[in-house]
Structures are given as C-alpha cells and as structure tokens.
Structure 1
Amino acid sequence: MSRKKRGIILFAGVVIVAGAVLAARYVWHGANSDPNRLRVSGNIEVRDAEISFKIAGLVRERLVSEGELVSASQVVARLDRSDWLQEVALRRAELRAAQASLAELEAGYRPEEVAQARAAMQQAQARLEELLAGSRPQEIAAAQAAVQSASVQAAYLKVEFERQSQLLQENTISRSQFDRAKSEYERAVAGLREAQEQLKLIKEGARKERIAQGRGAQEEARQRYEMLEKGPRQETIEQSRARVEQAKAVLALAEVRLADTTITAPFSGIVLSENVEPGEYVAPGTPVVTLGDLENVWLRAYINETDLGRVKWGQRVRVTTDTYPEKIYEGRISFLSSEAEFTPKNVQTQEERVKLVYRVKIDIPNPKLELKPGMPADAEILLDPEGS
C-alpha cells in the first residue's frame, strides 16, 4: 500500500473518531453552568496545500518526508532538468545570433565593401558600352590578317597534300607520311574556317542576347552599389530588432521552465503526506507532497442551535489540550456555519430542531508549532461583554 493511500485511510479514521467524540461531547457542553462561558471540544486542523510542479517531467528527487518540518522556500522536490538545460543553451545561442545580426545592420557596410561594389558597377558599365559600340577597326584588321594567314597556310598544305598523294600512288612514300600530310592539311582548313567565322562575328558586332546579358549585369551591379552606399533599410533594422526581442522572450520562457523543475515550500509547516516517489513521471499539477501550515492552526468545534445566538464572530476563546494541559492558547471565533450539521435541513419538530449542531472555526496562533493537526482540544468561548 502506498504512503498516499495510508495517509488517506489514517485521515478518514481521524475524521470518524473526531466526529464520534464531538457528537458525544457537544451535548455535555450544552449544559454549561456558567452562562458567560461555553465549552466546546474538537480537533486541531491546519491550512494545507498540495505542492506540485507546473510542468511535466520525471521526478529526480524528493527532499522531504512525511512528518518533517520544513521552512518557507525550502526545496521540496526536483524534476530531471537535462532537457531544459539544453533548451536554455539553444535559446541563448539564438539570441546571440540575432544580436550579432542586428549589430551588423546598425553598423552599416564597410568602406571596402562599398568600394568593391563601385568597381564592379564600373566594370559592368564599361563592358556594356563595349558591346553597344561594336567592334573597333583594329579588331577587324586583326581578324582579317588572321584569315589571310590561315588562307596562305591552307593553300600551301593543300599543295603538299596533293604531292604526297601522288607519291603514295607511286609507292615512293609510306602510308604514315601521307596520313601526316593529310592531317596537317585538314587542321589548316579548320583553322581557316574558324578565322573566317571570327571575322564575320567581329564585323556583325555583339549579338542581342549578349547585349541583354550585359544590361542585366550592369543593372544588378548598380543596384548593389546603391544598396551598400545607402546602408541597410530602416525596416530591415526594425525587423532584426523584433527578432532580438522575440529571442529574448523565448529564452526567458525557457529559463522559467528550467526554474519550474524545482519546487519549494510556499510557507513553513509540516509535511502531511508524500504523494509521489523519485522515478515517477508526473503531469503538471500532480501533488508531490501535502504541506500543512503550523503557524496558524484552527479548531473545528460544534455548538447547539440554542447557543447559536450567543456565539459571535471575533469572540475570544481559551483553548487547552491533553498534550499541554497547563497551557492556555488564546484564539478567536473566525467562522460560524449558517447550516446545521449531522441532521437534515427539513426537520420540522421543535424537539428535533434543538438537537441541530453548527460548525464553529476557532483560529489559534501557534508560533512555537506546538499544536499539531488531529490533536484533540477543549475550548472555552468567552460570551460575556468583557471577554468578547
């Protein structure tokens, strides 16, 4: 049986026993001989809170046990935090990258980058102008000279090729000598054709598609230069700043989640029950321990309906316990129930109505933490004007 179930059964037993004791004793207290004093009995109770994690995870350690006194802010339990440590590291890296990008934009482009862009723009412009201007006379003359030279070379090798053919027929030379002469002649013819094609292209000037490419390259170079010269656009900088703020927010959330892997006691008190064990996987809000506040305890008691009109909120109460019989604890009425306990609401006869009892709550300061939950106690409500 788990500790949680044992605690629930124990608590139910205490409630049953306390109810039986109170039901037996409240009639006796209804016959108080002193009209200015009303005696009641009950059990000490405490304000309790179920301490839980805000996030899901594997319970790595629980540092408190049932019955242990804890102080406010004392660590109660921890989840495995390895995943959240990695998450925080990742988010910090993202923030640094966003901050570096923003700093680069705010600083603008370096002078050498602007100078390189200007030079590239000028080169593209010169190339476009060259394409638009067409070929120069010197280029045409050089191409014509190349055609003339290739023509002379081809004519000479043609004669040589024809002579070698005749010699081959006469079996005067070998086949390899003939093949070599043939290859030289064919290369010369190909060179002549290439020179003639080049001369034709030079005379015609640049083709339209090359001019279009030159215009595109010149425009691209111009736009880049102007962009670098003016610096980053303001909206680009604002977007980068927004990314930095977003990265900060994401990092802050990850750090909060990392902190949420540890839970602490919200107040000083006593551990009433252990609800989970190390190694268990818990969902958000799953109670890990139940903590009771011992500094401000209260007594649950019951009074007869006939005494209901004499008991007022704020009246002083003197409380004693069997554990400390010689000590009197000063308390005050903090709650009066408006509904009867133990009997139905629809009771009609006067004889049965006088048997109704009403719940009373008596707050008792407990600075020395002497009073514990479940402890039986007797109380004397001061009804006289001097004691109220």
Structure 2
Amino acid sequence: MVAVALVAWTGYHTWLARQPYTWAGTVEARDIAVGSRVGGRVKEVLVREGDRVEAGQPLVVLEAGDLNAQRLQAEGQLMQAQAALDKMQGHARPEDSGKAGAPPLTGSLAEQAARARAELTSAQAALEQAQLDVQRARALFQQEVKSRAELDTAESALRQARATRDARRAQLQELQQGTSADLRAQQGLVEAARGRLEAIDVALGELTIRAPLAARVESLDLRPGDLLPPNATAATLVEDDQLYVRIYVPETRLGKLRPGSEVPVRVDSFPGRTFTGVVENIASEGEYTPRNLQTPDERAWQVFATRIGLREDGQHQLRSGMAAYISVPR
C-alpha cells in the first residue's frame, strides 16, 4: 500500500508538472458613451438596444428649441458688421447707392482720407503762394512801392495759410490713424459675429447624436419628450468586433508570454472549443491587487495586467463579460 501510494503521488506530481499554466480572465469590449454638448428635448429615437450601427449613423435627434432663431439673429449681426466694414473700406457697390437704406458712396473712411489729402495739398500750395507774396511785398516795401499796410496784409495772409496747412495736416494724420484703428475694430466685430454664427451651427449639429464608429447599442433608455442634459450620456455603444481578454500574470510566470504570441482561449459557453488569442500588451508596472483574485494566496503575488486580443473566430461568438481561460505550456 505504501508503494502504491508512493507511485500514485509521484505520478500525480509528474502529471501536474506537465500541465500548462492557466490564468482566468474576463472577455471585455471598449464602451463608448455618446451624448450631446447642448442637450435638449428628445425629438426622435432612431435605434434600439442591440442594434448594430455604422459610423456616423444618427441615433437620437433633439429638438432645436430657439437655436434657429438665434442663428437668424447671429446671421443678421454678421451682415450688419460686414456691411459697416465694407462701407469703411469703400466697397459699396454703385448699383446699391440708390436703394433705400444703402450707405452713401462718399461716406467711406478711405474717401474721407483722400479728400483730406487733397485739402492738405491745396493748403500747401496756398502757403507757398503766400510766401511768394510776402517776399514780393517786402521787396516792394523796401523800394517804397508798397505801403506798410500792404506788407502787413501779405504777412497776415501767410500766417493764415500756414495755420490752414497745419490744420489740414493734423486732420489727415488723425484721420489716417483713426482709419486704421476703426478698420481693425470693425474687422474684430465681423470676426466676433462670424464666431457666434459658427458656434450656433455647431450647436445645431449637436442636436443629432451620431455613432462615432461601427458598434452595437448596449443601452439606450430615452423616449421622445425626455429631457437630456448637456454632456449627459444618451447611449452606450460597445465595440463588440474588438473583443479582448484581460488576465493577470504572476511575475514568476511572465516569461511565458510575449507580445505577438498566440495563445488558446477557452470559455464555459463553448466547452471543448478553443479560440485564438494574441498577446497585445503586457503592463510595464506590476500590481498586487488585480481585479480577479483566484485564491487567497494570489493576494501576495505581484501580477502584471495582460491584454489578449481575440482573432476573428472569437469576435462574432463571444460576448463581453464572459469568463475566459488562457493556457500556456510549462
């Protein structure tokens, strides 16, 4: 009996030493929480739980509320700001000059600057003429051809011409500086109005909640008339065509796996059948408290989270949440 027991113990441990390492994990899939940044009242629900959806497919439509009215206001403000900018730049069309409410063609800042420049040229010419008159009056006064009163009149005209020239120059400088600043300010108003209009267009686009990529609708509990807050989850999608298994490998067995190697995957739902998995990633940092502890002794182990991607044979038959087992030879 002792010999039989010894043989049985030896045979059992020999068999046990030849068994592959097995780690338990869970089939997982990436979840996508979709919603709207603006929120609103639900107008239509276009899909149901369990449906397959394609990238860009509408899922839920929200009511527009007053967004259309806001867009009309923003569009009108943009048109007003653009018209004022065109007026400053002198871009008014000749055919619009006779229309009611059309800005006059002579009201642009560019035309005002042109007129001020012409007036400065005229004042400069008048000043030069006044200087010549003073020179001649002085010469004639010295020759006693003209009187002192005539010389004083010529000098007074020279001072008046110089003052007029200085005033026209200051007016042109002020207008040129003001033109540049006013144009920049008006351009800023145009850009601000255009930004408000684009923001409203984005909000209108957010009224239709779409699938970001091909997936399956996992949960959708909305009905027409429900209120959806901004940034709230409207539906949860699952990328069930990219399933993977998450396992935790002890440090002492980490050498049995390497990224890119194939491993067999078994699940309880398909006994006697194995699916092909590929080691996609091994965590660079270990941890002591994995999510799925198998035995009390494992709490003392340092383990590394490992991601096992499933090949096509398991993508269509396995489901997220299933218990899975991965085995590797010793």
Are the equivalent residues in 1 in contact too, given 2:49–2:220 (CA < 8 A)?
A: yes
Deviation of 1:327 after TM superposition, in Å, equals 5.8
1: CA distance between counterparts of 2:281 and 2:240? 17
**Structure 1 or 2: larger helix share?**
1
* 1:381 is aligned to 2:328: yes
1: CA distance between counterparts of 2:39 and 2:308? 37
1:32 to 1:291, Cα distance in 2 relative to 1, 3 A = farther
Are the equivalent residues in 2 in contact too, given 1:77–1:262 (CA < 8 A)?
A: yes
2: CA distance between counterparts of 1:94 and 1:376? 60
Are the equivalent residues in 1 in contact too, given 2:218–2:237 (CA < 8 A)?
A: yes
Paired residue for 1:96, among 72, 75, 79?
A: 79
Deviation of 1:259 after TM superposition, in Å, equals 1.1
Are the equivalent residues in 2 in contact too, given 1:340–1:359 (CA < 8 A)?
A: no
Alignment of 1:289-328 (within 5 A): 289-301=235-247, 308-312=253-257, 314=259, 315-321=261-267, 322-323=269-270, 326=273, 328=275
Paired residue for 2:39, among 53, 56, 66?
A: 56
Partner of 1:281: 227
Partner of 1:201: none
Deviations along 1:18-75, one digit per CA (max 9) or x if unpaired, are xxxxxxxxxxxxx86546x323344321111211211231122222221111122222
1:286 to 1:320, Cα distance in 2 relative to 1, 3 A = same
* 1:332 is aligned to 2:279: yes
Are the equivalent residues in 1 in contact too, given 2:40–2:63 (CA < 8 A)?
A: yes
Paired residue for 1:372, among 315, 319, 326?
A: 319
1:297 partner amino acid: L
Are the equivalent residues in 2 in contact too, given 1:59–1:77 (CA < 8 A)?
A: yes
Paired residue for 2:297, among 326, 348, 353?
A: 353
Deviation of 1:374 after TM superposition, in Å, equals 2.5
Alignment of 1:1-388 (within 5 A): 34=18, 37-107=20-90, 110=105, 233-301=179-247, 308-312=253-257, 314=259, 315-321=261-267, 322-323=269-270, 326=273, 328-332=275-279, 334-335=281-282, 338-341=287-290, 353=297, 360-365=305-310, 367=312, 369-370=315-316, 371-381=318-328
Are the equivalent residues in 2 in contact too, given 1:295–1:366 (CA < 8 A)?
A: no
1:363 partner amino acid: I
Identity %: 20
1:48 to 1:354, Cα distance in 2 relative to 1, 3 A = closer
1:60 partner amino acid: K
TM-score, scaled relative to structure 2? 0.58
1: CA distance between counterparts of 2:107 and 2:290? 89
2: CA distance between counterparts of 1:253 and 1:306? 53
Deviation of 1:310 after TM superposition, in Å, equals 4.4
2: CA distance between counterparts of 1:250 and 1:355? 57
Partner of 2:120: none
1:77 partner amino acid: V
Structure 1: 5+ residue stretches without partners:
1-30, 119-222, 345-350, 384-388
Deviation of 1:356 after TM superposition, in Å, equals 5.6
1:58 to 1:343, Cα distance in 2 relative to 1, 3 A = closer
Q: Alignment RMSD, CA only?
A: 3.9
1: CA distance between counterparts of 2:329 and 2:279? 10
1:111 to 1:298, Cα distance in 2 relative to 1, 3 A = closer
Deviation of 1:284 after TM superposition, in Å, equals 1.8
Deviation of 1:297 after TM superposition, in Å, equals 1.2
Number of residues paired by the alignment?
A: 234
Deviation of 1:247 after TM superposition, in Å, equals 0.8
Q: Which structure: larger Rg? A: 1
2: CA distance between counterparts of 1:343 and 1:288? 30
Deviations along 1:172-225, one digit per CA (max 9) or x if unpaired, are xxxxxxxxxxxxxxxxxxxxxxxxxxxxxxxxxxxxxxxxxxxxxxxxxxx9xx
1: CA distance between counterparts of 2:230 and 2:86? 40
TM-score, scaled relative to structure 1? 0.50
Describe the SS at the equivalent of 2:48.
coil
2:184 partner amino acid: E
Deviations along 1:237-293, one digit per CA (max 9) or x if unpaired, are 332222111111111111111111122212222111124333211222211111111
